[in-house]
Structure 1
Amino acid sequence: MKRIMIDAAKCDGCKSCSIACMQAHRKDEGSVYTLDLTDIANESRNYIYKNPDGSYTPVFCRHCDQPECVMSCMSGALTKDEKTGHVQYDEKKCGSCFMCVMNCPYGVLKPDDSTNMKVIKCDFCIEKGEEPSCVKACPKQAIWVEEV
């Protein structure tokens, strides 16, 4: 199983990973240069928090071995793929109860900003069939994919 690993000490807060995630999941076509960062439909599935001491903490979905989000999902919208180990989200099954959001120990999952009816979470860029966009975009290699 592949997981995104983090070395927070290398993160300089540039948010290249967040912008790459927004670009990878945008609805319209275009380059990163035409990405509207003020459009709430363009949401990142990862976060970079600035700590009081000036350091940064990258926060990504861990696709946990025992995912609390999946175990708390009453509608079956969140499932763990036993083959890949990735936690997947089916928007059509979601009942918008947000139990998954409340139970994520990392605080990664959140309701979408535009409708507050679906969950925003990392999909490991599976539809693209390649390494996650956030990992490719990190200039400091503070995040990487590792087989675990």
Structure 2
Amino acid sequence: MNRVYVNEQVCMGCGLCQVYCQAEHSMSKDIIKAFNRDLLRPLPGLRVERKGPVCFPVQCQHCDEAWCVYSCLTGAMHRDMATGAVVVDRDRCVGCWTCIVACPYGALVRNTTAKVVAKCDLCPEREVPVCVANCPNEALMVGEDRCGSPNWDCHRVEGGTEAG
């Protein structure tokens, strides 16, 4: 299952991943228009956190044991069988936010305007997620498990327990 991984030793916390994510999911898909002209600005599918000297993006990990999927009352949060990604059916989401409470990452966001949850969708229309493609330090990588790979100092949570 593909996920986006961050190399915490390389991430400088610039936030470009967040900016490009927000632009990619805007109506215009243009980085300038998304912030200046689009009436409804989408929420980014990730946010950059700083914990002391360490910076890293927080985003959906498309968990194998996805608590958000198990907790969803309407089935709006589900696994796409073709890609394996955890996705939201915006038409079925009722904005109850149980998935947000269930997520061990804190990676889901309330879109109170649309009354649906916002999260990383791995940019299904792109070969590589926009956050990965635009990271200036190449701190992000998409693929199978990268934790423990050479030159990758990363952590992930599976089912609420730290691994990596």
Interval of TM-score (by shorter of Structure 1 and Structure 2): 0.7 to 0.9
Find the aligned partners of 1:147 and 1:104 in 2 and give their Cα distance. Answer: 20
> Corresponding residue for 1:15?
15
Mapped contact 1:8–1:58 kept (Cα < 8 A): no
Find the aligned partners of 2:61 and 2:10 in 1 and give their Cα distance. Answer: 18
> Corresponding residue for 2:78?
79
Calculate the TM-score normalised by the size of structure 2. 0.80
> Corresponding residue for 1:121?
119
> Corresponding residue for 1:130?
127
Per the TM alignment, residue 31 of structure 1 is displaced from its structure 2 partner at its CA by 2.7
1:4 maps to 2:1: no
Q: Unaligned 5+ residue runs, structure 1?
A: none
Distance 1:138 1:99, change over 3 A: same
Per the TM alignment, residue 147 of structure 1 is displaced from its structure 2 partner at its CA by 3.0
Mapped contact 1:11–1:57 kept (Cα < 8 A): yes
Aligned positions of 1:133-148 closer than 5 A: 133-148=130-145
Q: Unaligned 5+ residue runs, structure 2?
A: 146-164
Q: Is the helix fraction higher in 1 or 2?
A: 1
Find the aligned partners of 2:69 and 2:57 in 1 and give their Cα distance. Answer: 22
Find the aligned partners of 2:19 and 2:39 in 1 and give their Cα distance. Answer: 13
Mapped contact 2:60–2:107 kept (Cα < 8 A): yes
> Corresponding residue for 1:61?
60
List per-residue Cα deviations over 1:13-37 (Å, max 9, x = no partner).
111100110111001x263133317
1:107 maps to 2:106: yes
Distance 1:34 1:129, change over 3 A: closer
State the percentage of identical aligned residues: 33
Mapped contact 1:61–1:122 kept (Cα < 8 A): yes
Calculate the TM-score normalised by the size of structure 1. 0.88
Find the aligned partners of 1:31 and 1:54 in 2 and give their Cα distance. Answer: 32
Distance 1:72 1:40, change over 3 A: same
List per-residue Cα deviations over 1:22-56 (Å, max 9, x = no partner).
111001x26313331797623211010122x2331
Find the aligned partners of 1:30 and 1:103 in 2 and give their Cα distance. Answer: 30
Distance 1:48 1:39, change over 3 A: farther
